[in-house]
Structure 1
């Protein structure tokens, strides 16, 4: 119990559907462990460079997905993290093959050039056989209970013994113990439940975004504790007419513009906070769309 720390709001269910920004939008996973699973990695250092055991021990990997259309969001998140900590951070920036050179250029030709980073290529083929053809990833209204994510008409779901009224959690920001992750073979468990959905259509893809969230709800059930809500202030992109108090935002540790109203677009709220960490795109592709920009 408790080796996964996941954001869940107020520990109670409410009647308001929530928007979950997941995966290809700025997904931040701070992993407090000295090693990360090795994949196809492009380093910002030469292969001859080596790290001492002391450096590895203090290193904190942070994984961020850099979706092509929202790469500016990833860069702003990296800038904010790097500028607000003295810790030895190693950024793993994940992208598709056709975006890797752009990611590298953005980092190496901007104020981010001093960060310690690795670029990781995501191969979509790893998802073969694990995603249904009808699966979608739009900005969906998200339910607050397991009922909205799992199809309780299916025997496989009923046999889990999880009450449909159980409050769901938001896996958009997690801190994971990678020793336990590997020991309990969490990746294999998640892949198993993704494959089961392809075979049996177990998840409510129309409401709950069954591609990623539903398997996590199953695998992490009873194996997580919540993080301080200040480490995941959500719904900043929910409604352009709804604002948090400035005092509250100053106390916040992590801001999340989940929803349709992104801080680089118009209309949006609290975009001044986001813009303070914005790193201009050297290629001039990603641009702000504000009346005064």
Structure 2
């Protein structure tokens, strides 16, 4: 046998030996992994497919998107469903600021930590009702309608001091699109906030006849009052719904929007500036005044509302509701109640209460 043939044979033997060693090492490694986690199956180090949990965390790095939502104890199921819909439908690095009252913190923490939302980034901020002293009418009817947490949106920069931009969401919403798209809503120079107008094509379908002129300013403000007259606002100006807000917090601070809102709240306690046909919110009038012709627009499909009113079921098609980026059950009929429209669209994002205290009411459950 020539020297060249001997060298070839040696090289072949070395190659075979190397492959045998590599195979044994890989098998030993897979055995170790299997023993450490027998339910996980065989995972080799060169597999590119990551577990859903790991891939989810990897794609949530980068720019934070601050989302503020309020959490009243009797509506925690709504908060959880809203947060779940935002989180599951987006790959963005969402960070929730949850504004609540002292007696709700433990309940909220438990619900989030013991469900699939345990990996969500959030901080809890306590709302101080004394902030509203002297700013809300002492009329018993008004006090009954004035839920303290509904005013949290007035104080956005205080609750998210590190952010330049943020999203505010009511709790009776479901997000079906990627929240990054809403966050990137373009705000014009000098505008501190963007809203959806009540005259846009999407919400106009849900307008409820006979409930007052709730799609323009005269439905919220009393234009006979001198303080309102002096502003020179047109009564038929299209109003907006503050259940979804994209806020430029830098402009909000610079223009001292919070103080302006508080001034109008205080003046209302003295002069009763709000319209008597006002439907469901005493938080809207101050916002309408402060942001009159000074706000940017949110895409109508990012705020499809009136799902909580009696007429929405007839005015919206199921295809339209499925195509909407954000659904809002503003009105009396909430999706966790028995008579709501499109409650099935809410149900798929609801996470059951581990304590069993919060339970959606469904017709079939009563039969």
For 1:235, which of 299, 302, 306 is the aligned residue?
306
Q: Is this contact kept in 2: 1:132–1:198, CA < 8 A?
A: yes
2:233 aligns with 162
CA distance in 1, matches of 2:228, 2:116: 49
1:223 aligns with 294
The DSSP-based 3-state class of the residue aligned with 1:233 is coil
Gaps of 5+ in 1: 1-54
Matches within 5 A, 1:270-285: 270-285=342-357
Tell me by how many angstroms 1:211 deviates.
2.9
Query: Does residue 266 of the first structure (1) align with residue 274 of the second (2)?
Result: no
For 2:256, which of 171, 175, 185 is the aligned residue?
185
Query: Does residue 152 of the first structure (1) align with residue 157 of the second (2)?
Result: no
CA distance in 2, matches of 1:155, 1:133: 22
Instruction: State the TM-score, normalized to the length of structure 1.
Output: 0.76
Q: Deviations over 1:205-234 (max 9, x none)?
A: 552556311110000011112211110111
2:72 aligns with 67
The farther-off stretch of 175-184 and 147-156 is: 147-156
Greater relative contact order: 1 or 2 (C-alpha under 8 angstroms, separation 6 or more)? 1
Q: Which has the higher helix share?
A: 2
Q: How many residues align?
A: 238
CA distance in 2, matches of 1:129, 1:284: 38
Tell me by how many angstroms 1:242 deviates.
2.5
Q: Is this contact kept in 2: 1:149–1:209, CA < 8 A?
A: no
The DSSP-based 3-state class of the residue aligned with 2:145 is coil
For 2:85, which of 77, 80, 83 is the aligned residue?
80
Matches within 5 A, 1:1-293: 58-134=63-139, 135=142, 136-137=144-145, 141=211, 143-204=214-275, 207-208=278-279, 211-239=282-310, 241-242=313-314, 244-293=316-365
CA distance in 1, matches of 2:237, 2:278: 16
The DSSP-based 3-state class of the residue aligned with 1:172 is strand
Tell me by how many angstroms 1:268 deviates.
2.2
CA distance in 2, matches of 1:210, 1:257: 14
Structural RMSD (CA): 2.2
CA distance in 2, matches of 1:193, 1:291: 43
Q: Deviations over 1:234-276 (max 9, x none)?
A: 1112127536323212211101112222221212221111110
CA distance in 2, matches of 1:201, 1:166: 21
The DSSP-based 3-state class of the residue aligned with 1:242 is helix
2:181 aligns with none
The DSSP-based 3-state class of the residue aligned with 1:262 is coil
CA distance in 2, matches of 1:223, 1:131: 25
The DSSP-based 3-state class of the residue aligned with 1:269 is coil
Distance 1:80 1:209, change over 3 A: closer
CA distance in 2, matches of 1:291, 1:208: 27
